[in-house]
Amino acid sequence: MISRRKRVALIAAAVLSLVLPVSACSSASTTPADPGSDELTLVRIGSQQVAADAGLFLADERGYFADAGIEVKFERLADASAITNALATGQLEVAGATMTPGTFMSVEQDLGIKIVGDKNYMAPADGDTPAISATRLAVLPEYDKGDITATLESLKGKRLAIHSSLSIQIVYLAAFLENHGFSLDDFQITPVLSPDQTAALQGGSIEAAVMQEPYLTQAITNDIAVEVSDLTDGLPRGVSTAALVYGPAFIEDAETAQAFMNAYMKAVREYNDAVFYGTEEEKRAVMEVVAERTGTPIEDLMKASPAGLDPDQVVDSDWIQHCSDFYQMTGDLAVDVDVADLIDTQFRDAAIKELGEYVAGS
């Protein structure tokens, strides 16, 4: 396990970053277009340019943002704390952010950022519907015992990698392990950035990893690792691992903020129709956009477990509260926050009224 001292040091650094300037983003502010003009309003999006950004990529590529009077600019930032800071200081309007301690600290700091929708979710299998998860547990082949309990038993005391010590992966990994009679203390939880995990497995510096796509599929294809779980055991249906977040100034620009949500929801629904209910050709057409934007080979994306993007942008406050409680329990979050102060569903609700409830494959 990561020591408490190191966790406290890391979260302190994350909180400090909330009040420091972010050089990675432009300092220009959003300038709304004049009514009736052809000028587009610039909206800067904080993103790590991953497959879970598919809805944002599609809304841009298909012209949904432009039709809504919006021009988007993607800004790649290093981590969640940098994104939170940039949103709070007006250097970004929108971002995808995971539920980290820094996200909850933004409430205590009164930074005014709000979770307005979903950007990536996981869900266990439900009847004929398979599990939705683009993050899965992989192990070196010699530790795969054909049964998850036996596999976890063989890994006790071994090095199990997560993306970072403050990643939300630790929350759902803990729930998964508890569901199978284990705890985080049974393993050496080892921070290894997702792009580096395949090499770490191959080099023998870790024995297992919570792996994101497309790195998981690449590791399996090269016979480096074996997938043993989709990690949805013990989770409620449809929990957000990353949220769509608005900055305070963007929320004040209600017309543009609503137009953005409508365009994004439209694109997310197109993604779901193609990826989960469409033909192979329809899925490929969507994944070609993702491949171009992320620099990932199209065949890797076609084989990978697709990211879950909620077509109705549901925000589960109970799950977000669970994440906050978990970080308080581990000592990574020193304050008790009211998650209601972090959530704003007005834009999602209005988009539903405009577009209607999602009908699968429609």
pLDDT tens for 164-181 read 888 899 999 999 999 999
Q: What topology is assigned to 135-229 in CATH?
A: D-Maltodextrin-Binding Protein; domain 2 (3.40.190)
What tokens does 137 get? 């547990």
Among 245, 192, 323, CA closest to 47: 245
What pLDDT score does 165 carry?
Answer: 84
Predicted confidence at residue 200, as pLDDT, reads 98
Environment class of 341 (CB within 10 Å of its CB; exposed 0-12, middle 13-18, buried 19+): middle
Per-residue model confidence (pLDDT) at position 37? 54
Tell me where in the chain the CATH 3.40.190.10 domain(s) lie: 4-122+239-355, 135-229
Quote the tokens at residue 149: 């309990």
Nearest CA among 335, 332, 336, 323 for reference residue 11? 332
Hey, is 188 helix, strand or coil?
strand
For the chain, what is the mean pLDDT?
88
Number of neighbours of residue 174 by Cβ within 10 angstroms? 18
pLDDT reported for residue 107: 86
How many Å apart are CA 169 and CA 174, to the nearest integer? 8
Helices 54-61 and 280-294 pack at an angle, to 10 degrees, of 100
Query: How much is the pLDDT for 11?
Result: 42
CATH number of 4-122+239-355: 3.40.190.10
Q: Which residues of the chain have pLDDT under 50?
A: 1-32, 35-36
| pLDDT (0 to 100) of residue 7 | 46
Instruction: Name the phi and psi angles at 118, rounded to 5.
Output: -100, 145
Tokens 């939880």, residue located:
189
pLDDT in tens, 81-117: 788 889 999 999 999 988 888 889 888 888 899 999 9
| pLDDT on residue 84 | 84
- What's the pLDDT score for residue 35? 43
Alpha helices in the chain (DSSP H): 4-17, 54-61, 64-67, 80-88, 101-108, 148-155, 169-179, 197-203, 215-221, 248-252, 254-277, 280-294, 298-303, 317-330, 346-355
